[in-house]
């Protein structure tokens, strides 16, 4: 298996505070990989460096063999990296389907088009994406009235519009009900399987992580302390130390 994403010695520091310290890892094609760690471990910082929201202090990021360190988010997106955020950033003044249409307009290079009515463009296509994430029935509601879990799914639909080869999902199930979490992650797993997309995600819910991730990485205080399959991570003494008290969760997940 070749790597779709390779990260080497990534570091980010702010005024002496080191948020991410020399992290190296890779994501293989077709892999569903989780990045976990306690609050403040540097997961979101790490993600933001991968997709260009933050510029690394040091280190490099390769996407499909091409160095993308320090490129702008929109350039990285164009290369085929999708992204969802921990705090959703959908367009509040648009309907659900228009949010997807917006992404499709960008995908089809129609941003500087002044002629057509935007809400007529790519509607069918957008509808299919909404169908994928089970939001078709809410297509014409204003985005501002959606439930939180629905917003998360909408973000996923948006991220899928330009057929990314790698999808980075920051806390995709945060704030969702347990059943919805399982459903969403099952959906992601299906997408990985059916479309050959690679996914890297961060997650607090260990049930979700251990049930779906092929490989798991653990980040603590900016440093990567484990990288392997579920069993290897579960038995890693440093991980257990970090997750002291969370051990039961691990066991339950293992039993499940």
Partner 1 sequence: MAFLFAQFLTGLANASSLFLVASGLSLIFGVTRIVNFAHGSFYMLGAFVGVTLMEILPGAVGFWGAILLTGLIVGLFGAIVEMVVLRPIYRAPELFQLVATFGVILVIQDLALMIWGAEDRMGPRAPGLRGVWRIFDEPVPKYDIVIIAITPFILFALWYLITRTRVGILVRAATQDREMVGALGVNQAWLFTGVFALGSALAGWGGALQLPKGGADLLMDFNIIGSVFVVVVIGGMGSLPGAFIAAVLISVLNVLGVTYLPQSTLVLMFVVMAVVLIIRPYGLLGREEVAGEHGQVGAPEAPIRPYGPVGRSLVAALLLVLAVVPFFADRFLMTLLIDMIVFALFAASLHFILGTGGLVSFGHAAFFGGGAYAAALLVFHTGTPMELAFLFAPLAAGLLALGIGWFCIRLTGVYFAMLTLAFSQLVWSLAFQWRSVTRGDDGLVNIWPAPWLNGPVPYYYFTLILGVGGILFLRHVIHSPFGYALRAGRDSPRQAEAMGIDVKRVQYVAFALAGVMAGLAGGIFVFSKGSVFPTELEIGASFDALIVVFLGGVKTLAGGVVGAGFMTVVEDWLTRLEYWRLLLGLVIIAVVIIAPEGIVGSLQTLWRRIRNTGDEEIAR
**CB of 210 closer than 8 Å to CB of 178:** no
107 binds partner 1 (CB under 8 A): yes
Q: Considering only residues 106, 132, 195, 240, which one is a binding residue for partner 1 as defined by CB under 8 A?
A: 106
Tell me which residues in 30-49 interact with partner 1 (CB under 8 A). Answer: none
| Nearer Cβ to partner 1 (58/108) | 108
Q: Alpha-carbon dihedral of residues 58, 216, 177, 245, nearest 10 degrees?
A: -100
162 binds partner 1 (CB under 8 A): yes
**Both tokens assigned to 140:** 């014409």
89 binds partner 1 (CB under 8 A): yes
Which of 177, 223, 165, 169 minimizes the C-alpha distance to 38?
Answer: 223
Cβ partners under 8 Å of residue 176, min gap 6: 148, 149, 152, 184
d(CA 201, CA 156): 12
179 phi/psi in degrees, rounded to 5 = -65, -40
Q: Considering only residues 24, 92, 235, 248, which one is a binding residue for partner 1 as defined by CB under 8 A?
A: 92
| Nearer Cβ to partner 1 (160/184) | 160
Tell the smallest beta-carbon distance from residue 85 to partner 1 (Å): 7
130 binds partner 1 (CB under 8 A): no
221 binds partner 1 (CB under 8 A): no
Tell me which residues in 57-86 interact with partner 1 (CB under 8 A). Answer: 72-74, 77-78, 83, 85
255 binds partner 1 (CB under 8 A): no
- DSSP codes joined into one string, 201-245: EE-S-HHHHHHH-SEEEEEETTEEEEEE-HHHHHT-HHHHHHTTT
> Which residues lie near partner 1 (CB under 8 A)?
51, 53, 72-74, 77-78, 83, 85, 89-95, 98, 101-103, 105-107, 110-119, 121, 141-145, 158, 161-162
């Amino acid at each position: 298996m070749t790597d779709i994403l390779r990260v080497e010695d990534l570091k980010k520091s702010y005024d002496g505070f080191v948020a991410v310290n020399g992290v190296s890892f890779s994501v293989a094609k077709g892999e569903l990989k989780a990045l976990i760690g306690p609050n403040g471990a540097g997961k979101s910082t790490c993600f933001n460096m991968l997709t260009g929201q933050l510029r690394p202090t040091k280190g490099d990021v390769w996407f499909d063999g091409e160095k993308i360190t320090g490129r702008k988010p929109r350039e990285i997106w164009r290369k085929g990296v999708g992204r969802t955020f921990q705090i959703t950033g959908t367009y509040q003044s648009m309907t659900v389907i228009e949010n997807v249409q917006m992404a499709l307009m960008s995908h089809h290079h129609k941003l500087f088009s002044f002629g057509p009515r935007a809400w007529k463009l790519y509607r069918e296509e957008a509808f299919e994406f909404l169908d994928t994430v089970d939001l078709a029935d809410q297509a014409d509601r204003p985005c501002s009235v959606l439930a939180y879990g629905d917003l998360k799914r909408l973000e996923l639909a948006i991220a899928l519009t330009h057929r990314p080869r790698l999808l980075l999902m920051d806390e995709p199930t945060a704030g969702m009900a347990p059943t919805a979490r399982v459903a969403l992650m099952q959906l992601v797993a299906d997408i990985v399987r059916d479309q050959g997309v690679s996914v890297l995600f961060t997650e607090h819910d260990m049930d979700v992580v251990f049930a779906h991730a092929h490989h798991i990485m653990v980040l603590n205080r900016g440093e990567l302390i484990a990288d392997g399959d579920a069993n290897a991570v579960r038995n890693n003494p440093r991980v257990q130390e970090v997750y002291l008290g969370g051990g039961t969760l691990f066991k339950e997940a293992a039993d499940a």
